[in-house]
Amino acid sequence: MKKWKPSIIIENSIKQNGRVTADVIEKTYDIKEHQMIRFMAEEFQRRIEVEVAMEKKQLILLMDEIRELQDVERKEQSNLVFKFRSLINILLSDCAKLQQRSLIWNDAANKVNEILDVPLLQCEPMTIEETHTFRMHPIYSEVYEIYLAYEELSPVLTETFRAFIQSLLKSPTLYEVWVLLKIIHYFSEWGLDAHEFVVDIQKKYKDSKSISGYKKQFRMENRPFDIGIYYDFTFDGSGYRPDFVIGFFEKENKQWSLHTLDAKYKCYSEMTKGEQTLLNDLKHSGTRYLNDLFGGELKVKSATLIHTDIKSLNWNVKEKQVNTENNQHTIAHFHFTPSESKNLQIYLKRLLHENSGLDHCCPKCGQFVEGTIQNTKEFQNKISRKILYNCSVCEEVWVANFCSSCSYHGRNMKLFYYNGYPKYLARQLYKYPTHNYNIQVGESWDVHCPNCYKTFDHKINYIVKHTVKNEPMIIRSF
């Protein structure tokens, strides 16, 4: 299209050669606003992909849990069977919500793809800035407003936090910090204020360009305990620096139970001397901390290794070289990766109940649960009991049972005041509908005692195969 413009006419009058030149203006849609709109649509597309992948993973985890629950439901004879049904129903309704969301995502993805196919938007994307057209044009400004509203939905990263995340991505401690964030995430379900943590971390990073040495006691409202976390902190007495120390402070008796956790980005199964390396790591990150992290009187109650070898897991390492005093459930190792992620939750549940003795606290929501004592047996100075816990807030259920054989022989007993008299209480054995850390008994809601491997029917003896790498295996009973 050729246009006569005043400038051309004037120019022409000045020029003496008599030839008229005119600007050639082509009608084009390749304006920067379109490039920015393409950027917006591609951003939506990426976001949808990430959300869909995350929800798919969540759905698989829920389905696995349902299958596990259905299995125990089939085998259960007692009235607990109703409890399992209601847990299954809760999970089924969560699954239905996720499936419903996947339809909505699908719809959104189709719409975004249609937008990306529009001829106007066949251009290179460009980062967004406010332009005259975005401010003034009725339609363009509407598009721009929608994008601003979308951006408002995502949390704004402060400059400090952005810098922290960028430094992290290149850092060899990426796995450790990821584990730390996951621990905070699970603890937030027990009532920890995650926002408090983010504010702390920003401050720590701003002051020292690293988050090493972070420590904090989180006050937990309406829960029987507070949580303490040390990350990469050097302890004075020993000079040791575990990746994590996790502590539970029982408010009622003002006592701490402390545990260490070291992270190793290692796949032992693929190493030539994997088993030996694991053994050395367990001595270094287990035995050493258990014996004298603090020196003196205060003792760590459990020491665990978290790693990325999905073929290795042992919640109760008994190997003499590592567990010199043969204490049950004090040394362990487990795998945790983005695709195999249920063990961290099991670990935290185990710390709460098995290692800290807070078995009256719900492993899903952290609330106090008054257990129902089902049968108390007194024999000489010994006492044993079974307690059923049922959380009215989140419907979680768990049982603290005991091993008749160990109780009879007085193994692993705990001093306990009963009606004002000192007695010895049989060690509790914990059982959950899913995600257990004790060895399961195939056909009933029972577990093998971690000390003698017997089931509740204590007449049967078991031959057990031990390895450092994996959980003990029951190979024959007689």
| Contact range with Zn ion by CB under 5 A, out of 85-93, 94-102, 243-251, 398-406 | 398-406
Residue number with CB closer to Zn ion (32 or 364): 364
Distance CA 303, CA 283 (A): 10
Q: Does 393 bind Zn ion (CB under 5 A)?
A: yes
Provide, rounded to whole angstroms, the least separation between the CB of residue 394 and Zn ion. 3
Q: Does 317 bind Zn ion (CB under 5 A)?
A: no
Question: For residue 456, what are its two tokens?
Answer: 């509740």
Residue number with CB closer to Zn ion (343 or 405): 405
| Contact range with Zn ion by CB under 5 A, out of 112-120, 227-235, 288-296, 406-414 | 406-414
Q: Which residue has tokens 């698989």?
A: 60
Distance CA 104, CA 106 (A): 5
| Contact range with Zn ion by CB under 5 A, out of 73-81, 150-158, 311-319, 354-362 | 354-362
**Cα-flanking dihedrals φ and ψ of residue 241, to 5°?**
-135, 80
Q: Does 403 bind Zn ion (CB under 5 A)?
A: yes
Provide, rounded to whole angstroms, the least separation between the CB of residue 210 and Zn ion. 36
Size of interface with Zn ion, in residues (CB under 5 A): 13
Beta bridge partners, 397, equal: 390
Residue 81, SS3 per DSSP: helix
Distance CA 222, CA 243 (A): 29
Whether 458 and 403 have beta carbons less than 8 Å apart is answered as: yes
Whether 328 and 277 have beta carbons less than 8 Å apart is answered as: no
Question: For residue 111, what are its two tokens?
Answer: 């719409």
Q: Does 348 bind Zn ion (CB under 5 A)?
A: no
Using CB atoms within 10 Å of the CB of residue 166, give its burial: 0 to 12 exposed, 13 to 18 middle, 19+ buried: exposed
Q: Does 406 bind Zn ion (CB under 5 A)?
A: yes
Residue number with CB closer to Zn ion (125 or 224): 224
Residue number with CB closer to Zn ion (48 or 90): 90
Residue number with CB closer to Zn ion (91 or 108): 91
Provide, rounded to whole angstroms, the least separation between the CB of residue 93 and Zn ion. 17
452, 464, 467, 474: which one binds Zn ion (CB under 5 A) = 452
Residue number with CB closer to Zn ion (323 or 405): 405
Distance CA 233, CA 172 (A): 17
| Contact range with Zn ion by CB under 5 A, out of 48-56, 185-193, 213-221, 443-451 | 443-451
Which residues in the 129-188 window bind Zn ion by CB under 5 A?
A: none
Q: Does 391 bind Zn ion (CB under 5 A)?
A: yes
Q: Is the dihedral of CA 37, 40, 46, 50 positive or negative?
A: negative
* Long-range CB contacts (within 8 A, 24+) of 136-142: 140/33
From residue 68, how far is each of 208, 314, 346, 436, 455 by CA, in Å? 46, 20, 15, 11, 20
Q: Which residue has tokens 């125990």?
A: 72
Beta bridge partners, 390, equal: 397
Residue 425, SS3 per DSSP: strand
Q: Does 451 bind Zn ion (CB under 5 A)?
A: yes
Nearest residue to 360 via CA among 322, 391, 331:
391
List the beta strands (DSSP E) in 149-254.
Answer: 214-218, 225-231, 244-250
52, 62, 394, 464: which one binds Zn ion (CB under 5 A) = 394
Residue number with CB closer to Zn ion (206 or 458): 458
Residue number with CB closer to Zn ion (323 or 451): 451
| Contact range with Zn ion by CB under 5 A, out of 42-50, 156-164, 280-288, 357-365 | 357-365
Q: Does 365 bind Zn ion (CB under 5 A)?
A: yes
| Contact range with Zn ion by CB under 5 A, out of 70-78, 152-160, 389-397, 430-438 | 389-397
| Contact range with Zn ion by CB under 5 A, out of 8-16, 163-171, 417-425, 449-457 | 449-457
Residue number with CB closer to Zn ion (283 or 458): 458
245, 449, 462, 468: which one binds Zn ion (CB under 5 A) = 449
Distance CA 290, CA 274 (A): 23
Nearest residue to 22 via CA among 34, 11, 38, 35:
11
Distance CA 4, CA 22 (A): 7
Chain centroid to Cα 240, Å, comes to 26
| Contact range with Zn ion by CB under 5 A, out of 11-19, 195-203, 312-320, 448-456 | 448-456
Provide, rounded to whole angstroms, the least separation between the CB of residue 48 and Zn ion. 33
Provide, rounded to whole angstroms, the least separation between the CB of residue 438 and Zn ion. 11
Q: Does 364 bind Zn ion (CB under 5 A)?
A: yes
Residue number with CB closer to Zn ion (317 or 403): 403
Site string for Zn ion, 261-300 (x = CB under 5 A): ----------------------------------------
CB-based contacts of 25, cutoff 8 Å, min separation 6: 1, 2, 3
Residues engaged in binding Zn ion (CB under 5 A) = 362, 364-365, 391, 393-394, 396, 403, 405-406, 449, 451-452
